[in-house]
Amino acid sequence: MRAVVTGGAGFLGSHLCERLLQAEHEVVCVDNFLTSSPENIEHLMGDRRFQFRHRDITEGLDEPGQVDTVFHMASPASPADYLRLPLETLRVGSAGTWHALDLAAAKGARFLLASTSESYGDPLVHPQPESYWGHVNPVGPRSVYDEAKRFGEALTTAYRRSRGVDAKIVRIFNTFGPRMRPDDGRAIPTFIRQALSGEPITVTGDGNQTRSLCYVDDVVEGLLRMLASDHGGPVNLGNPHEVSMLELAQWIGKLTRSRSEITLIPRPQDDPERRRPDISLARELLNWEPTTPVERGLCDTVTYFRRRLSVGECAGSG
């Protein structure tokens, strides 16, 4: 298989490129480093099956030769990034998805859209099944991401129905692991960075809001299973086990053997109270569920951050 991965230099995209190469596929990674850096793919550059295109997917991609699959991963994903880059986020979710779908249509390739649990907004239903239409504020600060992804889902569905593209949608829930940026503003990198540098660990609100955290390797496995399946989706990929932000901060404090104190700070506007996937469909259609214990994933992530920030070993996952 020859796969195009838009956003392939990002956190999730770089793990996906790695997995595809391990399975002996050819990979064309398309990225403009809007929210990532070349470091994420530096180790892949020597592989002759790996090609890198420094492009903005919103300007289109005229890829020569055969393309069997297009994974559309390009988009700022952390709230800090999409709040800083509102128009770029809307553009890559709309024009970027359009061009990625056009490429798939022109090449007769399969297409997979990396959508998000944010399509559900601040949900009123828990856990969220794919049949839930969501609760989104179209003019709230997070709308640039939520609505861009919802538009991307509509577009993907339209290409499937009207152009016959074998197009698939997965809704990814909070994912973590090595190669997240220490400054990307998401809870896990922020807590780890703060814990390792001895700064206070800042938990928003009262810390009782929950997230479900899935390790990156499990999500990549889900993407590949979705691609290999006959289903168009949307299918949720995430860990149904909920963790409160306070619990997470305490966990990271322990794993890093940090003396940092936990400090409560105000919650951002429209920050969802709970987010938990119903993964019945992924279990049934893809025989998929997360298998990496969160604590083990956190330990690997701490080890990565220690190396990046140049500080000692993880306290262990035992």
User: Do 69 and 3 contact (CB within 8 A), yes or no?
Assistant: yes
76 binding ligand NAD? (CB under 6 A): yes
> Catalytic site residue 82?
no
21 binding ligand NAD? (CB under 6 A): no
What does DSSP say about strands 210-212 and 242-244: parallel, antiparallel, or unpaired? antiparallel
Among 145, 159, 215, 304, the active-site one is 145
67 binding ligand NAD? (CB under 6 A): no
119 binding ligand NAD? (CB under 6 A): no
The tokens describing 9, both together, are: 């230099």
User: Do 69 and 44 contact (CB within 8 A), yes or no?
Assistant: no
116 binding ligand NAD? (CB under 6 A): yes
Q: Which of 258, 256, 260, 251 is nearest to 314 (CA)?
A: 256
User: Do 6 and 72 contact (CB within 8 A), yes or no?
Assistant: yes
Shortest Cβ distance from residue 11 to ligand NAD (Å)?
4
Closer CB to ligand NAD, residue 92 or residue 298?
92
301 binding ligand NAD? (CB under 6 A): no
Q: Which residues pair with 212 in a beta bridge?
A: 242
Q: Which amino acid is at 31?
A: D
Q: Which residues contact 256 (CB under 8 A, 6 or more apart)?
A: 192, 195, 196, 302, 314, 315
Segment contacting ligand NAD (CB under 6 A): 17-25, 53-61, 101-109, 196-204? 53-61
Segment contacting ligand NAD (CB under 6 A): 55-63, 198-206, 224-232, 287-295? 55-63
Radius of gyration for the chain, computed over Cα atoms and rounded to the nearest angstrom = 19
96 binding ligand NAD? (CB under 6 A): yes
Alpha helix positions (H), 164-203: 187-197
Q: How many residues bind ligand NAD (CB under 6 A)?
A: 30
7 binding ligand NAD? (CB under 6 A): yes
Please give the Cα distance from 34 to 162 (Å, whole number).
32
Segment contacting ligand NAD (CB under 6 A): 28-36, 100-108, 153-161, 269-277? 28-36
The tokens describing 51, both together, are: 């090609």
- 67: three-class secondary structure by DSSP: coil
Nearest position to ligand NAD, beta carbon:
10
User: Do 147 and 138 contact (CB within 8 A), yes or no?
Assistant: yes
75 binding ligand NAD? (CB under 6 A): yes
Question: In angstroms, how far is CA 22 from the centroid of its own chain?
Answer: 20
Q: Which residue in the set 2, 3, 5, 13 belongs to the binding site for ligand NAD (CB under 6 A)?
A: 13
Shortest Cβ distance from residue 114 to ligand NAD (Å)?
4
Q: Which residue in the set 17, 50, 58, 300 belongs to the binding site for ligand NAD (CB under 6 A)?
A: 58
What x/- string results for residues 167 through 206 when contact with ligand NAD is judged by CB under 6 A?
-----x-xx-------------------------------
The sign of the dihedral angle between the CA atoms of 253, 258, 259, 260 is negative
Q: Which residues are catalytic?
A: 145
Chain residues binding ligand NAD by CB under 6 A are 6-7, 9-13, 30-36, 56-58, 73-77, 81, 92, 96, 114, 116, 172, 174-175
